[in-house]
Amino acid sequence: MPEFRHDPVVGYWTIISTERSRRPVEFRPRELPEERRCPFCEGREDETTPEAFAIRKMGTTPDGPGWDVRVIVSKMPLLSESGPAESCSHGLYDRMDGIGRHEIIVESPRHAHDLDELDLPAIEKVIRAYVNRLNAFKKDESVKYALLFKNHGLISGSVRDVIRHSRSQLITLPVIPKRVKEELASTKAYFEREGRCVFCDILKQEKNEAARVVSENKTFLAFCPFASRSPFEMWILPKEHEADFGQLPPKDFHDFALILKECLIKLHDLLEDPPFNLVLHTAPYRHKTGDYHWYLQIAPRLTKNAGFEWGTGIHINPTPPEDAALLLRQTKVRHARTS
């Protein structure tokens, strides 16, 4: 059973992922493993866990072909699904069972598609799946938060295979992470002080200044944030104030798909398919006040953090966001990447 451990000094949680426990020899530098046969492709549904959700063509049956987006539980889950999260403390130290659900959202039946290569209706279906999965756990009192994210071109520390099939992930958590709590506390404090949402104010200032804007449509604004921690970082915000991504109405799926595809194509073309993370920042389940505002963060991983970043939390970004935004705006969206 993986376990959450609470740092007694500042209160962050760490997941000690015993299921993935590695001996020292496994950390030694080695060649990347061979890409193995992809279990996420259409026709290989029996190589995955049973589907939790799918968007399917009429007349097809679960766990068979005929799907556009398919959601399954990870075969190498970060957390365990069994039982309630027991916690205990010993002296200064608190620990909690690592209970949670780890889903894989397979974005396309075809292999090696990047999200931005899909056509707009296909991206809209991915967004529909995001909304569905985020809402799937909202009545479960044991789930405090769900993180929806995507790692593109990255091999994370504990995952040893390198299947390139485009997919996102959703992990449910029995705690609200410190980073999320901080954002909620800050936006609440701003709201109480100013009577307005800080993200709504950011939207207004970004539209006025225009220097950091990458793209805009009727419903969304994409820009490089003022204090970008990674070069070419982008945030996509809904123009209307809404704390919960799960409330995104189907009428807005098209505009969201449009701006997301545009931002990803620009990033791909300008930086030649850089590694990046997508991270959805949304209010925790059953969050009462409406002072938060959801956004999608696109964070290219182009720099390496070392002792300075680790010791201070201050990131060093070599590309001013105004320069990044200008270059991204100037990058024409080639229709060739629309399949």
Which 37-76 positions form the footprint of a copy of itself (CB under 8 A)? none
Between 125 and 268, name the residue whose CB sits nearer to a copy of itself: 268
Element (H, E) at 216: strand 213-216
CA–CA separation, 243 and 248 (whole Å) = 10
CA–CA separation, 275 and 156 (whole Å) = 11
Residue 250 CB, nearest approach to a copy of itself (Å): 25
Site residues (CB under 8 A) for a copy of itself, limited to 216-255? 225-229, 231-232
SS3 329: helix
Question: Residue 242 in contact with residue 293, Cβ under 8 Å?
Answer: yes
Angle at CA 125, nearest 5°, toward 119 and 129? Answer: 145
Interface with a copy of itself (CB under 8 A), residue from 32, 58, 92, 336: 92
Between 67 and 292, name the residue whose CB sits nearer to a copy of itself: 292
Interface with a copy of itself (CB under 8 A), residue from 1, 55, 163, 270: 270
Q: What residues contact residue 153 under an 8 Å CB cut-off, 6+ apart?
A: 273, 274, 275, 276
The yes or no reply on residue 143 touching a copy of itself (CB under 8 A) is no
Rg of the chain over CA atoms, in angstroms?
Answer: 20
Between 59 and 318, name the residue whose CB sits nearer to a copy of itself: 318
Site residues (CB under 8 A) for a copy of itself, limited to 278-337? 278-281, 297, 299-308, 310-321, 323, 327
Interface with a copy of itself (CB under 8 A), residue from 51, 63, 183, 255: 183
List beta partners, residue 326: none
Residue 196 CB, nearest approach to a copy of itself (Å): 11
Residue 159 CB, nearest approach to a copy of itself (Å): 9
Between 63 and 183, name the residue whose CB sits nearer to a copy of itself: 183
**CA 105 vs CA 11, 91, 164, 279, 284: distances in Å:** 31, 40, 13, 14, 20
Residue 297 CB, nearest approach to a copy of itself (Å): 8
